[in-house]
């Protein structure tokens, strides 16, 4: 009964006995965010370069909304570089007085709700991975070893890490659009783990539209192979051992079915839905920018702005400093080098980790957070939250104590070095 209750909860996005405690922690994390929003106006987090970037700044969004209300292109004056879809959603909640100090409380409520939904989807993804992990270990006849070992609910751990992560909290309180971008990436991963092609395609299209870099997240492998499983060679080794021990034909057939097979049907549906959502998003953008701009200007001011690194204001990345020092004669060459650096890592990692497509998505998210042109701590909050999905695998990792405090030390030194 206990196992059946957990499985039903995982399929529905819940988790059985852990639901009340998780909801309480979610309310506490949301309440803590609201307290900082209401009484943390003196923190001025919206102006911190670690939190706000030219692509996620709510002040720039307010400027773009004001230009659109004045019947001008929101991309005039080189201030706003975000998606046109955010203007009618968040634009009315901002005004000149509130943006000078902090965003309106209603706007912050949206970011709090977005963080909570993202945490619940991360937990549901963890449940999917938990079921797939137990199924794979059972097929390898390791049920007794699993029952004797500590089997942590990775979904609960990951959701709590995301909710109480200091970077996620300051990003939400700082009122930048990073939580919305993170939510779209989480929707994409959850939809792919659940093999829901429309949902995965929606998250993929929206995440790519908002920040471009999630385009390298190969969710096709996650849709085709399903959640993470041991490598195929492990099943082949098991089958060869079974053949040596002269098992029956039925056992051989069941062993051959255990090998992870690629399914093309959900991939085909994903491509169709991706084309549909892409056309729909472009249609909405053209309607919003009607008479005040066009799609060509949108591509130049969003994707072109990301790839050409025109804003050299300091951030937590390295591209702004490098291109501030490099000669203009070599600028185009190094732009190609830095942008292709991310793309070159896609194929080798996909070949090596194709049997772990969810972990592969986490690796891609971490690479993007480090190598994108305008990074922020909101990107780090995403991959740290996804890291909690692999708690059982990371439990045997060595030197975790030193790595944990090294990360804390580097995070604390970041603002200090910026002030210096």
Query: Measuring CA to CA, how many Å separate 16 from each of 3, 129, 131, 134, 258?
Result: 9, 16, 14, 17, 28
Rounded to whole angstroms, the Cα distance separating 253 from 371 reads 46
Q: 14 in helix, strand or coil? A: coil
Helix (H) / strand (E) element for 207: namely helix 197-211
Q: What is the mean pLDDT of the chain?
A: 80
Q: What is the C-alpha to C-alpha distance for residues 323 and 110, in angstroms, rounded to an integer?
A: 35
Q: How many CB atoms lie within 10 A of CB 303?
A: 15
Task: Please state, in angstroms and rounded to a whole number, the distance separating the CA atoms of residues 197 and 270.
Answer: 5
Would you place residue 40 in the very low, low, confident or very high pLDDT band (cuts 50, 70, 90)? low
The pTM of this model reads 0.85
CB 392 within 8 A of CB 268: no
pLDDT tens column, 48-89: 888 889 999 888 998 999 988 888 889 987 889 999 999 988
User: What pLDDT is recorded for position 260?
Assistant: 60
Copy the structure tokens of residue 404. 């944990």
Q: Check residues 239 and 90 and name the one with the higher pLDDT.
A: 90
Question: What is the C-alpha to C-alpha distance for residues 124 and 133, in angstroms, rounded to an integer?
Answer: 14
User: What CA–CA distance (Å, rounded) separates 354 from 258?
Assistant: 16
- Domain spans of the chain? 2-226+263-419
Higher pLDDT, 409 or 130: 409
Helix (H, G, I), strand (E, B) or coil at 311: coil
């Amino acid at each position: 009964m206990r196992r059946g209750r957990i499985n039903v909860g995982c399929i529905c996005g819940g988790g059985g006995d852990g639901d009340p405690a998780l909801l309480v922690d979610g309310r506490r994390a949301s309440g803590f965010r609201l307290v900082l929003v209401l009484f943390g106006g003196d923190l001025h987090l919206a102006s911190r370069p670690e939190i706000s970037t030219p692509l996620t700044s709510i002040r720039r969004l307010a400027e773009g909304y004001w230009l659109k209300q004045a019947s001008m292109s929101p991309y005039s004056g080189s201030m706003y570089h975000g998606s046109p879809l955010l203007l009618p959603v968040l634009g009315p909640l901002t005004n000149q007085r509130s943006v000078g100090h902090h965003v309106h409380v209603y706007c912050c409520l949206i970011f709090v709700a977005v963080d909570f939904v993202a945490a619940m989807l991360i937990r549901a993804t963890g449940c999917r991975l938990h079921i797939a992990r137990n199924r794979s270990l059972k097929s390898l006849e390791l049920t007794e070893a699993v029952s004797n070992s500590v089997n942590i609910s990775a979904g609960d751990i990951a959701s709590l890490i995301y909710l109480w992560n200091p970077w996620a909290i300051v990003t939400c309180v700082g009122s930048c659009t990073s939580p919305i971008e993170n939510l779209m990436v989480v929707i994409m991963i959850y939809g792919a783990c659940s093999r829901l092609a429309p949902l995965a395609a929606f998250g993929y299209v929206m995440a790519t539209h908002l920040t471009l870099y999630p385009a390298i997240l190969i969710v096709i492998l996650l849709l085709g192979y399903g959640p993470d499983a041991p490598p195929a060679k492990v099943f082949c080794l098991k089958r060869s051992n079974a053949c040596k021990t002269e098992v029956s034909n039925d056992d051989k057939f069941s062993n051959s079915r255990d090998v992870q097979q690629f399914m093309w049907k959900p991939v085909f549906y994903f491509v169709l839905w991706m084309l549909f959502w892409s056309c729909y998003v472009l249609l909405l953008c053209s309607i919003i920018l009607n008479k005040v701009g066009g799609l060509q200007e949108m591509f130049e001011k969003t994707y072109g702005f990301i790839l050409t690194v025109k804003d050299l204001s300091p951030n937590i990345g390295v591209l702004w400093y490098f291109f501030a020092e490099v000669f203009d004669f070599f600028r185009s060459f190094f732009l190609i080098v830095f942008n292709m650096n991310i793309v070159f890592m896609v194929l080798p990692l996909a070949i090596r980790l194709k049997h772990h497509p969810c972990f592969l998505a986490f690796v891609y998210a971490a690479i993007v957070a480090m190598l994108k042109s305008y990074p922020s701590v909101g990107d780090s909050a995403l991959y740290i939250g996804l890291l909690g999905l692999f708690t059982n695998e990371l439990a045997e990792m060595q030197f975790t104590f030193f790595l944990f405090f090294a990360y804390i030390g580097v995070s604390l030194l970041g603002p200090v070095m910026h002030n210096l």
